[in-house]
Amino acid sequence: MNKKEIAEIKKQFIPDNLSIREICTAYIDYNKNVICSSVSQFLTLPEKEQFKYMHIFEKTLSGRLGKNLVQVPVVENGCKMWLDRIRKEMIWDDMVARIIETYGFAENYMIVLIRGVYDIPGKSTAGDDMFDASDEVYDYIMCSLCPVNTGAAVLTYDREQNKIKSREREFWVDEPVDGFLWPAFSDRSTDLDNMLIYKKSPEAKQIYLIESLTGQAELTTPKEERAEFEKMLENVFEETPDYQTMRTIFQNLYEVQIETADNPELVKVGKEEIKHALTLAEISDQDMQNFETYYPKDRVFVLNNILDAKFKLKTDAVEIKVQPECMDNIETKVIDGQQWIMIPAAAAVEVNGICVDTIEHIKK
């Protein structure tokens, strides 16, 4: 799924486009006991509740693609057949039982499951929706896993009695921290072979849950992917690379990021793109041979996961961050035998928010 396809499904969670048919909720305590559960037709819920649930559903499809939202292949036919049976027959008890068994969460939480049916409109050559030209229905299930938190016992104002009184501890459902959508909505069509996973924390892993749903262990986290890329790059060089070499490599990768900023697809780089960056940096023949040796076979990296938002240069005492397009402003020089990092002073320079002149005035 790309950004546009995710946005299209999110639009189904507003009143004018509502495609949700049925909702199942289950409140689970930290001992994995079901405290309460219910199944309802979504449109029979009070309007205020509908809006609160729609907010949860939107959050389950929010965040950055490749970090918070990750597409995972459903590799086992048994998993696919089981998911399809849940979707068509809405056997929510089976899904709730599997989540309880495999979801690693040490506190109270709520399972929210929905089934939706979206009549996919056709698209005109101008990209406009053609609601009378639909030839496919996207039938999906989505799960949101939300922590249930406890509020403090406090004093409150009671309007009816017109007095201050004590309020007991209450439980409230927080925004989701995990979730999934199946089938995926790829190329604006039903994709039974993939599931979209939501993680509020990109580094969190739900190995057993994801494996039980897809037959595949969860993919690497952005932090793990970044570490793998950095380790590969370190192995390329026989000797510690100089600043200019490393800047050229990352400058090329940042250029790819800038050029593809408006691309709705998840941008990835593989061996050829990284090799091109190394070639521009004019690394040695031996280092290039090391790259051929150490680069993982068929490995591709999510570009946003291996790049910081800003180019960063760090010493023991100082950290410098600049926008990628301003990387050329940083230079290195040796003055009187001492290595220096040089940054040109712009017209406006601030020290703790106060504008200063970078030229010391001679005190009279």
Print the domain residue range for 252: 223-329
Is 198 found in the same domain as 257?
Answer: no
Q: How far apart are CA 194 and CA 74, in angstroms?
A: 5
Mean pLDDT of 173-194: 96
Question: What pTM was estimated for this model as a whole?
Answer: 0.83
Is 17 found in the same domain as 159?
Answer: yes
Lowest mean pLDDT among 166-170, 226-230, 333-337: 166-170
Which has the higher per-residue pLDDT, 55 or 135? Answer: 55
Structural domain ending residue among the three candidates 192, 218, 244 = 218
Is 70 found in the same domain as 214?
Answer: yes
Is 213 found in the same domain as 163?
Answer: yes
Report the pLDDT value the prediction gives residue 220, as an integer from 0 to 100.
86
If pLDDT is split at 50, 70 and 90, which confidence band does 364 have? very low
Q: Are 230 and 312 in contact (CB under 8 A)?
A: no
Is 212 found in the same domain as 175?
Answer: yes
Which has the higher per-residue pLDDT, 191 or 151? Answer: 191
Lowest mean pLDDT among 42-46, 166-170, 204-208, 275-279: 166-170
Residue at 360 is within a domain:
no
Please tell me the total count of domains within the chain: 2
Residue 202: what residue type? Answer: P
Is 87 found in the same domain as 197?
Answer: yes
Q: How far apart are CA 315 and CA 332, in angstroms?
A: 13
Query: For the chain, what percent of residues have pLDDT higher than 70?
Result: 95
pLDDT at 16 over 90: no
pLDDT at 53 over 90: yes
Residue at 362 is within a domain:
no
| Structure confidence by residue, pLDDT tens digits, 190-234 | 999 999 999 999 998 888 999 999 998 777 899 999 999 999 999
Residue at 100 is within a domain:
yes
Q: Are 72 and 216 in contact (CB under 8 A)?
A: yes
Half-sphere exposure of 336 (CA within 13 A, CB side): 0
Q: How far apart are CA 225 and CA 304, in angstroms?
A: 10
pLDDT at 139 over 60: yes
